[in-house]
Amino acid sequence: MREPLIDLKNITKSYDGQVILDDLSLSIHENEFVTLLGPSGCGKTTTLRIIGGFETPDMGQVMFHGQDITNMPPHKRNLNTVFQKYALFTHMNIAENIAFGLKIKGKSKAYIQDKIKYALKLVNLDGYEKRMPDSLSGGQQQRIAIARAIVNEPKVLLLDEPLGALDLKMRQDMQYELIRLKNELGITFIYVTHDQEEALTMSDTIVVMNQGYIQQMGTPEKIYNEPENAFVADFIGESNILDGTMIWDRLVEILGVRFDCVDTGFGTNRPVDVVIRPEDVILLDPERAQLKGIVTSVIFRGVHYEMSVEVGGFVWKVHSTTMFPEGTQVGIRVEPSNIQIMNKPESEDEEAVSRNGKK
């Protein structure tokens, strides 16, 4: 295992007596695109500010290349931060905005000119030197903010919801732009977002957080396909989460019906959470299915139809390329391998951690 570039060790942080981060540990490797993902208020920005040096933890350490930087001020750290509000200086043109940090560092005119050209090219805004910030679109302004960070040649770029203020189309363009930048620059990105699609698109590693705890950490595929608990399953993509009873190995009962599944080791007659993705629900002739329900809504989503199917009080989310009109009686089938069994949270506290802050 490579030595991590950044190591957060047992970080605890409280505000006004309220614990925001509780014993949080996290390792980030060089050249990784790591995304902190979670609902609003879960502690993402606080974590990023601690890495950036804008906050000091109450307990724990921030290590950088094996060196303790917990108390090092931001400007001495080899990282740069781009915040959600681009905060360009409105009275300076684009070149002056980008040059600002370099001037403070006392870099030569020629060096600064070179850097400005290079950075503008990198964010696809060549020739924008003389423009004023308010003549640029939101997306362009955010790219300038990124260019301004890049010219400092940080080892790590910290980005706090940098696309949050942009509309959907521009956000998607910028996501590709950021992936390209990451590949070209070969630096480490630590990215904060509450948008799971954004996280799945861009990240090498996703850190799912809720209420100051890391719920799960892994590749986008791992997090999506093998969520470790109901909170992650629900937050990443859409899910049907049902109360179930594990009858014994490979047999689970939901809504009064027994289903074959592939999971073992949950004991016998144990309450469990059962997670089934909407795209894994198969609708068919009710005569051929164990569960029967009625379609209560249909929305066309371009690639598939999104349908709601009510079965004994539970509303299933179903994605299918075949449309069943509202009011139709349908049967539901799920392949055993698409039924995911999860332990229910053990204590009241854990229940709160995993159930609250759902999207």
Ligand X SMILES: Nc1ncnc2c1ncn2[C@@H]1O[C@H](COP(=O)(O)OP(=O)(O)O)[C@@H](O)[C@H]1O
Residues binding ligand X (CB under 6 A): 15-16, 20, 38, 40-46
Stretch that binds Mg ion, among 38-46, 177-185, 230-238, 312-320 (CB under 5 A): 38-46
Q: Rank residues 43 and 220 by Cβ distance to ligand X and give the closer one.
A: 43
Q: Rank residues 32 and 55 by Cβ distance to ligand X and give the closer one.
A: 55
- The CB-of-24 to ligand X minimum distance in angstroms stands at 11
- The CB-of-235 to ligand X minimum distance in angstroms stands at 13
Stretch that binds Mg ion, among 25-33, 37-45, 292-300, 330-338 (CB under 5 A): 37-45
Q: Rank residues 213 and 316 by Cβ distance to ligand X and give the closer one.
A: 213
* 140 in contact with Mg ion (CB under 5 A): no
* 67-68 β-sheet, strand order: 18-28, 6-15, 59-64, 67-68
41 binds, among Mg ion, ligand X, none (CB under 5 to 8 A by kind): ligand X
Stretch that binds Mg ion, among 2-10, 43-51, 288-296, 345-353 (CB under 5 A): 43-51
Residue 308 vs residues 228, 265, 301, 353, 356: alpha-carbon distances, Å? 25, 32, 13, 28, 23
Q: Rank residues 41 and 345 by Cβ distance to ligand X and give the closer one.
A: 41
15 binds, among ligand X, Mg ion, none (CB under 5 to 8 A by kind): ligand X
C-beta nearest to Mg ion: residue: 45
* 97 in contact with Mg ion (CB under 5 A): no
* 210 in contact with Mg ion (CB under 5 A): no
* 45 in contact with Mg ion (CB under 5 A): yes
Q: Rank residues 49 and 115 by Cβ distance to Mg ion and give the closer one.
A: 49
Residues that bind Mg ion (CB under 5 A): 45
